[in-house]
Structure 1
Amino acid sequence: MTPPKTISVLTAVHAPAAHHLPEAYKSLLAQELPAGWDWQWVVQEDGQTEDVRPHVPDDARVSFGQGRAGRAAMARMLGLARARGEIVKVLDADDQLPPGALARDIEALEGRADVGWVTSRVLDLLPDGSTAGFEGDPPAGELARGSVLDYWRTHDFRASVHPATLAVRRELLLAVGGWMALPASEDTGLLLALSAVSAGWFNAETGLLYRKWLGQVTSDATHTDPTEREARMAVIAERAAALAATGWTYSPAAGV
């Protein structure tokens, strides 16, 4: 029997958000994957407390680890060491996957050899349980190499697609160096690096419920500090430009 292919869902979590993990897990259980695929959930604590493990489900498909505190980028990179999937999918601890999200990611990558990564439409999940969408999503379909990067440069450093929805071929994720060592916007840095070297795909169906709550990292005032933001955007832009200048275009290996 051929072993199943795997999509590794990678979640960085710090103690204040740990109580949301059961809802994220419930959304994983609701996923129906294409034949021959299974999921793995890699939960990596950003720190070494006693507050996260009690919220991690007892499931053989779930791998839990801890490490020195260093923000989400470092936690994700440490967790990546345990991710065995051909595809790596981001899921923040306080967010949820709508039904069908993983299947759409897999199908986009399996069926298109020129596509290295996938993003999806996002709905904000508000404290009262309602949702709110966004205007201005790109058309469903292929995102040409460099197009997301070009949009970001000309729209006040705001991307045309949401980096929290990323699913990416593991080999490409490693080739661009993973998440940037930044206190925030590390996922935007990855998205733009991917855009610099590879075509992507946008799924117009909702692929993420993005929770809005007072404890989320992006609600902290330091997230919008202008000096820090300017520094983050500068180094993100330089990394993406350097990758684009190499002229290298990613070509997936056979197997996904």
Structure 2
Amino acid sequence: MVCVSCIVIFYQAGKYLREAIASVFAQRYESWELILVDDGSTDVGTALALACAAEHPDRVRYVQHEGHANRGMSASRNAGVAASRGEFVAFLDADDVWLPEKLASQVEILRDRPEAMMVYDAARYWYPRPGATVEGEYGRLRRLGFPPGTLVHPPDLVPLFLGDESETPGTCSVLLRRSAFDRIGGFVESFRGMYEDQAFFYKLCLELPVYLSGEVTSLYRQHPDSACHVAVRENVYDPHGRSLSQDVFLDWLAAYVADRLRSRDAPARHLPDAVKDELLCRLGFAPFHRFRRLLRKAARRAPLWRRIRARLSRFRDKVV
């Protein structure tokens, strides 16, 4: 049995796909399988994936939706996991790459910490020059929010993500147990593009312990054809303020948290009252920016995770 199932989804990403695949084959850790999920591509990506699967039938499989349909990122990742056989699952978008120590480092972490259901690290933003490969220009690291080496218990990551969505894990930077994926029900397929990763990570971090690693094991490519850049151009996403896609996500999150709060043993019940109140207000379309301002005001006084918890500790625990 293979240890890690590497899920690479792709749609019209033929000019990047070969490099992503090469970064999987370059892994120092060798017990892996590669699932290439075609989300209805009409470019060279389909031919590349089929050729790779034919050349490496013992390690690589090609998956597509019925009728070569385009169903979005969430449905494609779910299809990849459904076809997988590994104990652990890792995701790599077709325009990103892993560094050679990625799987070895993160498998060791989860082996050594059986209580951790997922590990992630600080992916590095990557701005490759035209024609460059992984020697292109590197940018800053994504922020972790907690000190590296911390095992964070649910739901402590959720207020952090709400305060700054850029601290949500990069999809390419995670490794999780297949049992954790199954437990939370996978990706939310109504999110085809923007916030599809955040919906998944909120679900997981509301329920399960997560380990934050100090390693850097992946490069998060920045380019004008990415889902985020396209959403900005189409005015459905604003990385610096409110947007339609953010409102859709927050309404979904409010409904999801409300549902989880009905279970008395759910970790979501231990969210700070301010978080619960503001999320539940979403069901009545109340403004969300008041909580964002509260977090920013608290952020000027102490280390980030302590700032949030200290500011929110004023609120008495209530039963919702």
Query: What TM-score bracket applies, with the shorter chain setting the length?
Result: 0.7 to 0.9
Give the Cα separation in 2 of the matches to 1:157 and 1:237.
Answer: 16
Change (3 A) 1:126 1:64: same
Unaligned runs of 5+ in 1: 250-256
CA offsets 1:216-252 (integer angstroms, 9 cap, x no match): 1111124506123211122134325644663247xxx
Give the Cα separation in 1 of the matches to 2:256 and 2:174.
Answer: 19
Secondary structure, counterpart of 2:188 in structure 1: coil
- Select which of 184, 201, 212 maps to 1:191: 201
What amino acid sits opposite 1:167 in the alignment? L
Please name the residue that 1:173 is paired with: 181
Secondary structure, counterpart of 1:121 in structure 2: coil
Worse-superposed segment, 155-164 or 170-179: 155-164
Please name the residue that 2:282 is paired with: none
Change (3 A) 1:5 1:111: farther
Give the Cα separation in 1 of the matches to 2:217 and 2:261.
Answer: 28
Give the drift of 1:109. Answer: 1.2
Confirm or deny that 1:144 pairs with 2:142. Answer: no
Give the drift of 1:162. Answer: 2.9
Please name the residue that 1:40 is paired with: 33
Give the Cα separation in 1 of the matches to 2:177 and 2:261.
Answer: 19
- Select which of 9, 23, 27 maps to 1:27: 23
Secondary structure, counterpart of 1:115 in structure 2: coil
Worse-superposed segment, 108-117 or 225-234: 225-234
Asked whether the equivalents of residues 19 and 55 of structure 1 are also in contact (C-alpha less than 8 Å), the reply is no
CA offsets 1:34-56 (integer angstroms, 9 cap, x no match): xxx61111110111646322222
Secondary structure, counterpart of 1:99 in structure 2: coil
Please name the residue that 2:45 is paired with: 52
Secondary structure, counterpart of 1:10 in structure 2: strand
Q: How does 1:65-76 map to 2 (within 5 A)?
A: 65-67=63-65, 68-76=69-77
Unaligned runs of 5+ in 2: 130-135, 268-320
Confirm or deny that 1:13 pairs with 2:30. Answer: no
What amino acid sits opposite 1:51 in the alignment? V
Please name the residue that 2:256 is paired with: 239
Secondary structure, counterpart of 1:44 in structure 2: strand
Secondary structure, counterpart of 2:128 in structure 1: coil
What amino acid sits opposite 1:147 in the alignment? D
What amino acid sits opposite 1:169 in the alignment? R
Please name the residue that 2:170 is paired with: 162
TM-score (norm 1): 0.86
Asked whether the equivalents of residues 104 and 203 of structure 1 are also in contact (C-alpha less than 8 Å), the reply is no
Answer 1 or 2: which has greater helix percent.
2
Asked whether the equivalents of residues 96 and 172 of structure 2 are also in contact (C-alpha less than 8 Å), the reply is no
TM-score (norm 2): 0.70
Answer 1 or 2: which has greater strand percent.
1
Q: Larger Cα Rg: Structure 1 or Structure 2?
A: 2
Asked whether the equivalents of residues 196 and 243 of structure 1 are also in contact (C-alpha less than 8 Å), the reply is no
- How many residue pairs were aligned? 241
Give the drift of 1:32. Answer: 1.3
- Select which of 205, 210, 213 maps to 2:220: 210
**Among the aligned pairs, what percent are the same residue?**
22
Q: CA RMSD in A?
A: 2.1
Change (3 A) 1:228 1:244: same
